[in-house]
Amino acid sequence: MGKISKDTPLSEITLRKYEKPELFSDRELIKKVCLSIGLLQPGDSRDVIVDILYILISTRENLTSEEITQMVIELRQEKNLPMIGIAPSNIRRQIKRLRDLQLVEKVVNSYRITEDAKLEEIFEERIKKYFIEPITKRIQEYFKKVDEEFPDPYSLRQEEQEK
């Protein structure tokens, strides 16, 4: 009996294009970033990842997960947002998602924006270079292989006419 393969991606990223970033509040701007790179799904009510990224960007300090949790709670209270997803375990899981995308790094027992760099630099040097480009190259390989396996019917007809 043949081996059943799983369609598990080696890496993945979701990209979305939104309107130009012009008239958004600070938190809305961070939310659009999260939506744009697939950290948040459209319509998601569980958007605590926005607050985590917002805090790390706005403070530019090394913060423990406990400090981040406390600051998220305070921010959500201040903005009158529902206290959804504020459990410490969920905060740590969301931090891990930010780390997996290389937006955030762990330094000893605290977290910060990767290398204290600008987000645009992180996108260019890490996300685009190590996530997007390899994925698009592999997709091109698949398209090329499909083109080889399924020749263009037009070119086949031309070859037959030339014979």
Say whether both 77 and 137 belong to one domain.
no
pLDDT (tens digit per residue) in 6-29: 788 888 889 999 999 988 889 999
pLDDT > 70? residue 155: no
Find the mean pLDDT for residues 45-59.
Answer: 96
Residue 51 falls inside a structural domain: yes
Number of domains in the chain: 2
Strand boundaries in the chain, DSSP class E: 104-107, 110-113
Compute how many other C-beta atoms are within 10 angstroms of the C-beta atom of residue 84: 13
Compute how many other C-beta atoms are within 10 angstroms of the C-beta atom of residue 102: 16
Full residue range of the structural domain in which residue 123 is found: 117-163
Residue 3 falls inside a structural domain: no
Paired strand residues for 106: 111
Say whether both 108 and 78 belong to one domain.
yes
The amino acid sitting at 4 is: I
> What pTM, to 2 d.p., does this model score?
0.84
By three-state DSSP, how is residue 39 classified?
coil
